[in-house]
Amino acid sequence: MKSAVLILPYFGKFPDIFPLFLKTAAKNPNINFLIISDSEENIDYPGNVIVLSQTFSEFRELMEKRLGQTIVLEKPYKLCDYKPVYGYVLSEQIKQYDYWGYCDCDLIWGDLYSFIEPLMEKGYDKIFASGHLTLYRNTQENNELFRTLDEGELFSKISKDNQIYWFDEDYKGKNNIHDLFLKSGKKVFTEDFSVNFNIDTNCFQRKMYSTENRTYIDIPYEKEQYYWDAGKIYQVKKKEETLAITEYPYIHFQLRYMHGVQSVLSEEQFKIVPNRFLKHDKMPRTLDEWKHERKVYFGGQRFIQLRRRIINKMKKVFRKC
């Protein structure tokens, strides 16, 4: 059995969905989570979550000391460009694991291990292409690839610039850690197993990483429903005259505000709709049960995104004044 740890530095107040992140992480006992945080919140962490208390400045100093260089890291958002160096920087903390990776905290887990365990057994050097979840085989060569391939020219550029490069994921198909692994001839798994929603739609419309195009494409909308059931995530939808039930390892809620987190924390089943989590006793498994499910929910996501864009534009205007 292969071991794995997911590393999550997060500074400031955790997002509202974080209690569900922890609840669903606890259902993955074969995976450990290493959280680095300055949070003083009274949080009951599951047994498979390891917490390293550090401030943002302390973590930056740790990275600089381990890298042997100064880096540009003024705000936590820039950490997306440093995710691929965690395996090198935290080599002592993760040396007992076969695989390490990074993830976001605006997601909930299904049975992740059942999806990644066969891939780890096959010895993939890199698993997945997205910044919200990527894993690496824990070897010195893999962990140092960011600075050894092309003599570290790309990372040197990124670490001296406050601009965001999205180095952690295959964004626009170039200048990122995924590109470096492909160029090096490493064994890379790129199929997208995630449920990753479009941030601009009220409904749940999925976006998926395309291995062929090396970018993210929109999946046509269908009246699909999502459920968390005792540690597993299911998508349910009608397909012709049958009910199609598909299991997924996790759902990513990027920039999507979800209500009802506290109401389902003690539940073993709940339904996931575009703007909230709902108590739900039974997932539909027949067409007759499906017919009685409510299919349309108003999420208000487009309004939230519009308001966010207006606020961001106003901030830029006032900065120039």
pLDDT tens digits, one per residue of 194-235: 999 988 888 888 999 999 889 999 999 888 899 999 999 999
126 has pLDDT over 60? yes
Mean pLDDT rounded to a whole number for the chain? 91
For each of the domains in the chain, give its residue range(s) and CATH number, in order of start. Answer: 4-189 (3.90.550.10), 195-304 (no CATH)
Beta bridge partners of 217: 208
CB distance 82 to 63 below 8 Å? yes
Average the pLDDT over 88-110 and give the result: 97
Give the helix/strand (H/E) hosting 49.
Answer: strand 49-53
Give the helix/strand (H/E) hosting 179.
Answer: helix 177-183
**For residue 33, what pLDDT band results from cuts at 50, 70 and 90?**
very high
More confident residue, 275 or 111: 111
Token duo for residue 245: 């039930």
Which one-letter DSSP state was computed for residue 64? Answer: H
**For residue 318, what pLDDT band results from cuts at 50, 70 and 90?**
low
34 has pLDDT over 90? yes
307 has pLDDT over 60? no
- In this prediction, residue 43 carries a pLDDT of 94
Between the alpha carbon of residue 200 and those of residues 130, 254, 319, the distances in Å are: 19, 10, 26
- In this prediction, residue 222 carries a pLDDT of 86
Backbone angles phi, psi at 211, to 5 degrees: -60, -35
CB distance 146 to 155 below 8 Å? yes
- In this prediction, residue 296 carries a pLDDT of 58
315 has pLDDT over 80? no
DSSP 112-153: HHHHHHHHHHTT-SEEEEETTEEEEE--HHHHTHHHHGGGGH
- In this prediction, residue 161 carries a pLDDT of 93
- In this prediction, residue 194 carries a pLDDT of 96
Burial 201-224 (b: 16+ CB within 10 A, else e): bbbbbbbbbeeeebebeeeeeeeb
- In this prediction, residue 122 carries a pLDDT of 98
304 has pLDDT over 70? no
CB distance 177 to 149 below 8 Å? no
**For residue 148, what pLDDT band results from cuts at 50, 70 and 90?**
confident
- In this prediction, residue 310 carries a pLDDT of 59
Residue 17 three-state SS: coil
- In this prediction, residue 282 carries a pLDDT of 87
Between the alpha carbon of residue 47 and those of residues 23, 27, 116, 293, the distances in Å are: 11, 10, 21, 36
Average the pLDDT over 111-138 and give the result: 98
**For residue 133, what pLDDT band results from cuts at 50, 70 and 90?**
very high
- In this prediction, residue 295 carries a pLDDT of 66
Share above pLDDT 70 across residues of the chain, in percent, rounded to a whole number = 91
317 has pLDDT over 80? no
More confident residue, 320 or 76: 76
Average the pLDDT over 3-27 and give the result: 97
- In this prediction, residue 281 carries a pLDDT of 81
Other Cβ atoms closer than 10 A to 240: 5
Residue 100 three-state SS: strand
More confident residue, 200 or 131: 131
Cα–Cα distance measured from residue 11 to residue 13, given in angstroms and rounded to the nearest whole number: 7
302 has pLDDT over 80? no
CB distance 132 to 192 below 8 Å? no
23 has pLDDT over 80? yes
